[in-house]
Amino acid sequence: MMGGILNARWPQRLLDLPWGIIVLIAAIGMFGLVVLYSAAGGSFEPWAASQGMKFGLFLAMMLALSQINLSFWLRIAYPLYAVLLLALIGVEALGQISGGSQRWLDLGIIRLQPSEFMKLAIVLALARFYHFLPRGYAGRFAGIWPPLLMIGLPVGLVLLQPDLGTAMMITAGGITIMFLGGLPLRWIIGPGLLVAASLPFVYTMLHEYQQRRVLIFLDPSADPLGAGYHITQSKIAIGSGGITGKGFLQGSQSHLEYLPEQQTDFVFATMAEEWGLIGGVGLLLAFGVLLNWGLRVALQAQTIFGRLVAAGLSMTIFFYVLVNVMMVMGLAPVVGIPLPLISHGGSAMLTVMIALGILLGIHRQRREVSI
Amino acid sequence: MAGDGDSGRMFDRRAFFLGGVQVAAGGLLIGRMAWLSIFESEKYALASEENRVSLRLIAPRRGWIVDATGEPLASNRPAYSLDIVPSLAGDLDSALDRIAKVLPLDADDRRRIHAEARSLPPSASLAIAEDIGWDAFAALNLELADQPGLQPMRSYVRHYPDGAAFGHLLGYVGRATAEQFKENRDPLYLVPGFRVGKDGVERSKEEVLRGKAGAQRVEVTARGKIVRDLETRPDTPGETVQLTIDRGLQAFTAARIGDDSASVVVIDCLTGDVKCLISMPAFDPNVFSNRIPQALWAAMQADDHKPLLNKVTQGLYVPGSTFKMVTALAALSQGVLPSDTVSCGGRYTVGGNTWHCHSRRGHGTVAMRGGIAKSCNVFFYSTARRIGPEAVADMARKLGLGQKFDIPMPVQRAGIIPDPDWKMQRYGEKWSVADTLNTAIGQGYLNINPLQLAVMTARIASGRLVEPRLIATGPAKDFAPLGIPEDYLEVTRQGMTDVVNGPGGTARSARLPVEGVQMAGKTGTAQVRRITAAERRRGVRSNASLPWRFRDHALFIAFAPTDAPRYAVSVIVEHGASGSKAAAPIARDLLTYIYDREKAEAGLSKLQASRESARRAKAEAERLAAVQAAEAKNLAGVQAAETKRPAALQAAGAAALPAAIAPEAATGRQL
């Protein structure tokens, strides 16, 4: 693989990149910086400057990842999954020892949040599984239990942390690959109904604060100054923005700190207050274009691994956007999923940029029929 | 390789389906957002504005209280204070720790702040310190600007220029209680700088003095920090309340009373204007309005001089001989002639029981004028038996005793005017001759307050139904006549004139040192304990030999000038022993102040100088005694333990004493 990169004809490879999409990604990221600049009351500190540096770094990393061949991802799919699973166990064990919930491993230089990368690893690992699954086995029991186990293990560990949002994302990513990998519809509809029927039992197993969040999601006015505060203030920010918004640097909800997590999970509300419906729809359409491109890459790719990874990663980014914006607008419980490319914070941006880098790589190799 | 065949087509179909899901989800999100920002925009814009803008009430400046000439008795002084909103401050204790570095806070302050934080609604601000001075205010603004929830404020503090002299009259102000807030939920009650009247005029005229709160619209962060002012509606200060009080007279009289436990009322006989209303000792309203120190409060509650009680309206006393005018007027109105005489032999016997006159040899033949002047008990015993107890009680009520008056004092105690019906109702016993005799000379069940006594004097002096008036607004009322023939009233007044100016008067030392002005008066003594027959045989012990709290109350009523009465005075000195020695000089001096201010003030400074030297001498004697005791202790050495025991025994004996005499204390109720 390293030889492949070195031997490539660089000018041609660069020209082959979908620059329209890269510019779109950069534009979304830049818009995010503008929002963070305003959220800090018109200041680069403390968010916009650091976010800008990370974004630039990750953008370069994304371009570098786009040059990696799919064979590499295929090869490391299982090892990566295994390492992250061990890391999740390690986090859990550390949490037990220190007597509190913990989500990251402190490696000295960086804090590694294994659950974050598991969102990618589950897609790669399952895609690898289906890539090598003999034709016709997708519907058989032998082709169903391994992916279910592969999803179940990390989801269980993440739920123990407890991190409902990430567990949902990993499940959704895994189910997406199983769905695209050829799982018969009866296997989807049946368990789907089963899951729906078991929701009340799941609810009773949730932590108290999670139960409260669900209840408050169903009726935010029940506790407007307590836990319903987040949702209520976020809706006020979006609603008061109106069609055209209050104007750049004019968002009172964010500047006067009524909006909680204005720079992370609720950054969409911060944006919508100042840019209004126009800004919100514009941002959603930009994500739509990006996701549409991702799915087209999947349809164009020739290898099963490439198709599944491309579609799975697109759907992962889609879930990010969907859950975050639904949460911010009061359509979903508050689960702590950031808005990709916009929310302040490194982990989620890194995950999304890696996914985009892999997508760019698949796009580059979309015409190759074998890995 | 995988792109063709069944599985390839299935992948395409399912990928398209997912694409459809994405489009549908996108539609849902956009639809939801449009709903929020178009159809519900108005509602949320309002909510956002409510968030952003906070309405802060500005405590209204309290109206002034001024005296009859417009001199301020209670005003407002600009000051600085520090408030905190506990819900915004985070950890209250660590916030207080930071504040304590700039502004000293003791354990009491912290306890109070924590207690208030618990009882107040979480969003309300509470006072950390008031009247903190400019330096502390500036330092706080500078050093604690980043502490959330902290609010250094400009405010006003109630100021009473003359302090304790006006304590009971004006009362004081303080924070509204939790009960007051619960009553009407007025958010003004929660504003830390806001004060309500707690006693006296401050409490009675609360509605007039309060004013209307101002409001300030400010932009605030979620943590309560003010970003900027938007608009301010100024407060409407409370109205000024003008009293009929003479500030100079009241201050002079308070100083004249000194350390005694006394009350003084001066009423203008023509208008009913209360010129002076004092109960001493008193609290300093400046101190009480800030925060009442617990130790001070406890000391005042324990003080036998009762500084927390407004004795003028709440202190009840046996009127003693000052009541004899009532008996006299009752007799005159019942047909007894002023010239009717009684022979006084020093004792009066009914059915085997003997009542004594204070002169053992007797006053001889006594008519009404002389009876008053000499305060002859036998004359009034005999007269009261002629007219009966109802006539005496009716006259007492007519003269204002047993009544409550329309003046702005929160609590007035009416006292007791006993008659046969009252006794039957109260004790279920029939009225006895003894009751008639006791009442006739102002003893027995009678209970009056100093204000009533002053009104009675004003009514006798003017011959009209004078009503006391403390608020100077509005025209003076024209009072109806008492309905007692003027020549009868004149006999009574002459008797009172003789008390001070006549040859055998009981208060001759109280003559006014003012050219051309004479004072009429009447002394009274209210027994605090009954003199037992055994004591009487041994000879009456002088009051001075008794402990302070067993001495008689000294009473004196007066009016002046005698030819055209203008001022009516009542003075009661608790345990002052003698009306003529303790009470009458105070009346004399304050009337002197009215007619010759310089002379009165010169007398007062002389008096104060002698008081000061007496105090020094006493302190010196105590110091010497202490030194001697210490020396004796050193000498005694081993016997030190022994000396303690007698002291303890003495203390126990003193405590047991009141209980022992209690059954006999029927005639002289203390308050």
Work out the end-to-end distance of chain A between its first and last CA atoms, rounded to an integer number of angstroms.
Answer: 12
Q: Identify the pLDDT of residue B648.
A: 43
Tell me which of A188, A240, A254, A262 to substitute to probe the interface with B (most B C-beta atoms closer than 10 Å).
A240
Task: Give the DSSP per-residue string, B340-384.
Answer: --EEE-SEEEETTEEEE-SSTT--EEE-HHHHHHHT-HHHHHHHH
Give all strands of the β-sheet with B226-233 in edge-to-edge order. Answer: B53-58, B214-220, B226-233
Q: Is the peptide bond before A79 cis (omega within 30 degrees of 0)?
A: no
For residue A216, the model assigns a pLDDT of 72
Q: Do A252 and B221 touch (CB under 8 A)?
A: no
pLDDT digits over B417-439, tens only?
Answer: 999 999 999 999 999 999 999 99
Grouping H, G, I as helix, E, B as strand and the rest as coil, residue A302 is coil
Residues of chain B with Cβ-Cβ distance to A40 below 8 Å are none
pLDDT of res. B362: 85
Residue A99: predicted pLDDT: 56
Is pLDDT above 70 for A124?
yes
Q: Across the interface, do A238 and B221 touch by the CB < 8 Å criterion?
A: no
Higher pLDDT, B300 or B639: B300
pLDDT confidence of residue B535: 61
Query: Which of A198-207, A354-363, B159-168, B220-229: highest mean pLDDT?
Result: A354-363
CA atoms within 13 A on the CB side of A141: 0
Spatial separation of the C-alpha atoms in residues B420 and B414, rounded to whole Å: 18
pLDDT, residue B374, reads 87
Query: What's the rounded mean pLDDT across residues A138-146?
Result: 88
Specify the amino acid at residue B258: G
Contact B30 A242 (CB under 8 A): no
What does the pLDDT read at residue A60?
A: 95
Query: Distance, in angstroms, between A91 CA and closest chain B CA?
Result: 31
Closest CA to A370 of A307, A310, A302, A299: A302
Q: What is the mean pLDDT of chain B?
A: 85
| Closest-CA distance of chain B to residue A272, Å | 9
pLDDT in the model for residue B457? 95
Q: Which residues of A touch B123 (CB under 8 A)?
A: none
Confidence check: pLDDT of A294 > 70: yes
Q: Is A264's Cβ below 8 Å from some Cβ in B? A: no
Mean pLDDT of B133-161: 83
Q: Are B230 and B217 in contact (CB under 8 A)?
A: yes
Predicted confidence at residue B534, as pLDDT, reads 61
Inspect the interface and report whether the beta carbons of A242 and B41 lie closer than 8 Å: yes
Residue contact B37–A241, C-beta within 8 A? yes
ipTM score of complex: 0.92
Q: Would the CB atoms of A240 and B41 count as touching at under 8 Å?
A: yes
> What are B's interface residues with A at a Cβ cutoff of 8 A?
1-3, 7, 10-12, 14-15, 18-19, 22-23, 25-26, 28-30, 32-34, 36-38, 40-41, 43-45, 47-49, 51-52, 219-223, 227
CA distance B499 to B184: 56
Secondary structure string (H, E, C) spanning A303-335: CHHHHHHHHHHHHHHHHHHHHHHHHHCCCCCCC
Specify the pLDDT at position B404.
93
Q: In Å, how far are B42, B97, B221 from B89, measured between CA atoms?
A: 32, 12, 13
pLDDT value, residue B522: 92
pLDDT tens by residue, B90-145: 788 888 888 888 888 888 888 888 888 887 766 677 888 888 888 888 888 887 77
Mean pLDDT value across chain A: 88
Q: What is the pLDDT averaged over residues A240-262?
A: 89
Report how far residue B424's alpha carbon sits from residue B197's, in angstroms, rounded to the nearest whole number. Answer: 41
Q: What residues contact B318, with CB distance under 8 A and at least 6 apart?
A: B442, B443, B444, B446, B447, B448, B526, B527, B553, B667, B668, B669
Residue B394 has pLDDT above 50, yes or no: yes
pLDDT at B330 over 60: yes
Q: Chain A residues with CB inside 8 Å of B220's CB?
A: 256
Q: In chain B, what percentage of residues exceed pLDDT 70?
A: 91
> CB-side exposure of B195: number of CA atoms within 13 Å?
28
Q: Model confidence at A120, in pLDDT bands (50, 70, 90)?
A: very high
Write out the two tokens for B66: 């001024």
Domains of chain B, CATH where assigned = 54-242 (3.90.1310.10)
d(CA A153, CA A126): 13
B4 contacts on A by Cβ (under 8 Å): none
- Enumerate the residues of chain A whose CB falls inside 8 A of the CB of residue B36: 235, 238-239, 329
> Which residue among A182, A239, A298 sits closest to B41, beta carbon to beta carbon?
A239
Average confidence (pLDDT) over B287-316: 87
Q: Which residues of A touch B32 (CB under 8 A)?
A: 326, 329, 331
Cβ contact, residue pair A277, B1, below 8 Å: no
CA closest to B228 among chain A residues: A256
Statement: residue A2 has pLDDT above 80 = no
Q: What is the 3-state secondary structure (H, E, C) of A198-215?
A: HHHHHHHHCCHHHHHHHH
Given a cut of 70, is residue A206 above it in pLDDT?
A: yes
Q: What is the pLDDT of residues B267-284, one digit of tens each?
A: 999 999 999 999 999 999
Task: Give the model confidence (pLDDT) of B18-71 as tens digits.
Answer: 999 999 999 999 999 999 999 999 999 998 988 888 888 888 999 999 999 999
pLDDT score recorded for residue B538: 62
Task: Among B2, B14, B45, select the one facing A304 at the smallest CB separation.
Answer: B2
Task: Specify the pLDDT at position A136.
Answer: 83
Nearest to B37 among A238, A285, A299 (CB): A238
Beta carbons of B33 and A242 less than 8 Å apart: no
Test A252 with B219 for CB contact under 8 angstroms. Answer: yes
Contact A243 B41 (CB under 8 A): yes
Any B CB within 8 A of A315 CB = yes
- Answer yes or no: do B37 and A277 touch at CB < 8 A: yes
pLDDT of B529-580, one tens digit each?
666 656 656 655 566 677 787 888 899 999 989 999 999 999 999 988 777 7
Give B29's contacts in chain A (Cβ within 8 Å): 284, 322, 325-326, 329
- pLDDT higher than threshold 70 for residue A226: no
Q: What number of C-beta contacts closer than 8 Å exist between A and B?
A: 134
CA torsion sign for B173, B175, B176, B178 is: negative
From CA B194, how far away is CA B126, in angstroms rounded? 11
Q: Would you say A249 and A38 are in contact if contact means Cβ atoms under 8 Å apart?
A: yes
| Cross-strand partners of B196 | B174
CB contact under 8 A, A322 and B38: no
> Does the pLDDT at position B655 exceed 50?
no
Residues 6+ apart with CB under 8 A from B586: B253, B256, B257, B262, B264, B556, B571, B573
